[in-house]
Structure 1
Amino acid sequence: MTGPVLRFAPSPNGRLHLGHALSALLNFEMARDAGGRFLLRIEDIDVGRARPEFEQAIYEDLAWLGIAWEEPVRRQSEHFSDYEAALKTLKAQGLVYRSVATRKEIADEIASREAKDGKPWPRDPDGAPLYPFEPGDAPAGDAPPAWRLDMRAAIDRIGQPLSWQETGAGPDGETGEVAARPQAWGDVLVARKEVPTSYHLSVVVDDALEGVTHVVRGRDLFWSTSVHRLLQGLLGLPAPVYRHHRLILDDDGRKLSKSRRDTSLSELRAAGATPADIRRMVRL
């Protein structure tokens, strides 16, 4: 009997911080203790922000923490054909549609509807406004399209409630068998204008192709699992067991962020911190 397969999948658009250390250590030690496999994936589909120096820093930080991974490392930018094949499947099912609306056009439409209705436009679980156009109603144009999932059609195609097995806990303590709520996300992007995929599509394809059996990641991605379960169902992909762990917060109660340049592992190392210090700081 083979052991579990776990993965750590950072994006090389900044330096790793304590939140990444917690996730990487949990995945590595869970795989090691269960006699399983630990994979490293570089999620570099954001070609405009991914940097080679940040990817190299990921390897250095993880090695310093005592984490070892299997080779070769999967780099998403080298596997666009896998995501194109999945997108082709969704197109064949009639479940995606072209979208050339700009951010300004989307924002203007939302503002117009809020002014007309006198109430805020619905938001997704991350707090972002839902896409306001129906399939076929968005502005037309000759620009390269993004592709959006027709959420209502996709849910109708599945035809039954979706759920996932949660061994951690959600924001409100949800655990065990959790009912998926993909409709809360509206018509999500499955491919962007500049690359033939999105986070949601690539992550489910990668997990299936790599045989990942257990997904261990931060609680901020808890409700994203609803979209992932829907895509897994549409594409005929297996569903891993999920564990969403606590987040590392700053002094203001916000999760750590590369975009705000919160203190990185490399900065802590340069200041004299040891791997044991990092474990204490993330309460392991």
Structure 2
Amino acid sequence: MKLGLIGCGKMGRALLEGALTAGIVEAQDVYITSRTEKTRQSVAKELGVNPLASNTELASIVDVAYLCTKPNVSKIVLLELAETPESLDNTLIISAVAGLKLEAMESILPDSARVVRCMPNTPSLIGKGAAAYSTGSNTSDLDASTTGKLLGSVGSVIEVDESLMDSVTGVSGSGPAYVYTFIESLADAGVLKGLPRAQALELATQTVLGAASMVAETGLHPALLRDMVTSPGGTTITALKALEDHGFRSATIAAVEAATEKSKELGRN
């Protein structure tokens, strides 16, 4: 497989490095573009891949091209690619651009263009990502399998109907920020109650990591695992009541709703 990357930001690099580490593609078969020559030369030197100045040249060479630009740049790139439709004859485009719909991509690109929309998240940087993808009208089962393999190289991956992609953004795309805020708050509470900052942060981080691993590895519902920690009249049920009294659950749901609506808004622009 020959793989391309349009846009060398953190997410694009994470997806690329995941494919390289997993052995899905070799460095000599990877081609990258970036808005600045300095960036593409730097990434090319670090990873041993091939830098190109032209997005259309990249598309004409590779089998799969990740589109990982900023939302305000993505349509410019798509219009550029559309000017040379023959460059896309054998190329699958996988977009990780927030809010960019399949319909919008297909309306710009040639009628036969094969496109996929995906939403990874930042833990992909350490191979612990959660991603979802939706396929366009011209994609094949092989295209879906290829997408799943590539995204799976940086974490877990699911295929969803595109109507759910904005919800994916709200849950897992933006979700790491909610978890970081919770870890910070948990550590702050420990400091308030006398723990040294470093120890409080270590305890909070490992507690979240361990609890998430319990859900993932046991397959048990979070409510059941929570009940296993919650003794009648004990400290945990008292703490859970305090969380409910302060709107913890409703605040989390509101955050996901807000991020979902923002993603829809980006898709309308």
Q: Given the two structures, how large is their TM-score scaled by the length of structure 2?
A: 0.30
Q: Given the two structures, how large is their TM-score scaled by the length of structure 1?
A: 0.29
